[in-house]
Structure 1
Amino acid sequence: MVCYRCIMVVEDLLAKLGFTPLHVELGKAIIQETVGKAELEHIRQTLQSVGFELIDDKRNRLIEQIKQEIIRLVHSQNGELKTTLSDYLADRLHHDYSSLSKLFSETNGITIEKYFISQKIERVKELLVYDELSLNEIAFLLNYSSMAHLSRQFKEVTGTTPSEFKKQKIQLRKGLDEIV
């Protein structure tokens, strides 16, 4: 799950299936009832029918947690790191960063840092479309060292400058779950 509407959809689906959701957050759902294999498969199929995936493998859960922490950091906390990304993730997920990084890279084919940058660029696109902040303000908001650094990274990822992106009639944005 990558957004708060997703949480509401999952809560609703679980309730319709007869389960009592105790806590649903991005990437995680806890229900009151004990679930057997048949019920688990029914939950899996129901979630898949609306585009969600049930992740019950420990490695995949950890990868999903990495993604959720980065999404939360970029989209809710505006990328405001008080420390390095590696220390932030190691602290939040209670795992050694090198093992998180290796697992993430093996599974997704990109580094955690590249995923973080991709999320930041999508956030920049969102803010550019809203047209409420200057590029300088966006750079400051997302903890870029300068507007030039943001522009350079934006062009590397998208192939266009932020100002060219803003002028496009169709802004090609990705959903958070589409970012690899």
Structure 2
Amino acid sequence: MKLFIKYMVSIRCKMLVKAELDNLGILYGQIHLGEVDIIGSIEKEKLNQLKAILLKAGLEIMDDKKSILIEKLKKVIIEMVHYEEEFPKIKHSLYIRKKLNYDYTYLSNLFSEATGITVEQYIIAHKIERVKELLLYDELNLTEISYKLNYSSVAHLSAQFKKVTGLTPTFFKKLKRKKRIPLEDL
């Protein structure tokens, strides 16, 4: 059995879910972003307790198939941008289609209808947050960041960064108090 959990987009969220499953004595296998492999079944009372606890933490167990698919799409994008060693060198649409085994146009329309933004806007928002993170680490220069995230050029990265944040990457790097958005809020 699988549980699909909305807004479970970080390692911190995974740790919280793991702790609550342990507290309730619910047996589980692997915990991934947005989903948990449950061993066996869960008593209705324990499932309701888990739902209430997770809801207080800002997480939500989902039953609706379309909502689950949207969360899977978000998970694929988050993993692609934040956790892959190297950004895929193929079109986003092809990458997503291969990962989820769904028609990209269907996924894109479903996502836009549910979230009010396009898949591309969502990817860009995450790429900009990743750029901010890499700038804060100060291990890579802008050219290396541009290459790592598959931008066509530093100018393209800089233009997109400025359009989204209102700042140039260089100015952002110089700020004393850097503004990053938690993944859960994107």
Aligned residues of 2:24 and 2:46 also touching (Cα < 8 A): no
How far does the alpha carbon of each residue in 1:32-85 deviate from its partner, in whole angstroms, 9 at most, with x for none?
Answer: 231244332211111122222212211111111111101111111256223211
Equivalent in 17, 22, 28 of residue 24 of structure 2 = 17
Paired residue total: 179
Quick one: distance in 1 between partners of 2:105 and 2:44? 34
Provide the aligned C-alpha RMSD in A.
1.4
Give me the whole-angstrom Cα distance separating, in 2, the residues matched to 1:121 and 1:36: 42
Give me the TM-score of the superposition, normalised by structure 2: 0.91
Residue 134 of structure 1, CA deviation: 0.8
Return the TM-score normalized by structure 1. Answer: 0.94
2:165 match: 158
- State the structure with bigger RCO (CA 8 A, min sep 6), 1 or 2: 2
Tell me which stretches of 4 or more aligned residues in structure 1 moved more than 4 Å.
Answer: none
Look up the equivalent residue of 2:9 and give its one-letter code: V
Counterpart amino acid of residue 130 in structure 1: Y
Q: Residue 90 of structure 1 contacts residue 96 of structure 1 at CA under 8 Å; is this kept in 2?
A: yes
Unmatched runs of 5 consecutive residues or more in structure 2:
1-7
Name the stretch that deviates more: 4-13 or 83-92. Answer: 4-13
**Letter in structure 2 aligned against 1:4:** I
1:4 to 11, 30, 48: 11
Q: Which has the higher strand share?
A: 2
Query: Equivalents in 1 of 2:90, 2:46: separation in Å?
Result: 42
Q: Where in structure 2 are the equivalents of 1:22-171 lying within 5 Å?
A: 22-77=29-84, 80-171=87-178
One-letter code aligned to 1:44: K
Structure 1 Cα separation of the partners of residues 22 and 73 of structure 2? 27
Q: Which amino acid aligns with 2:126?
A: Q
In structure 2, distance between residues paired with 1:78 and 1:67: 18
Q: Provide the residue aligned with 2:181 in structure 1.
A: 174
Partner Cα separation in structure 1 for residue 15 and residue 90 of structure 2: 32
Gaps of 5+ in 1: none
Contact map agreement 2:143 2:154 (CA 8 A) in 1: yes
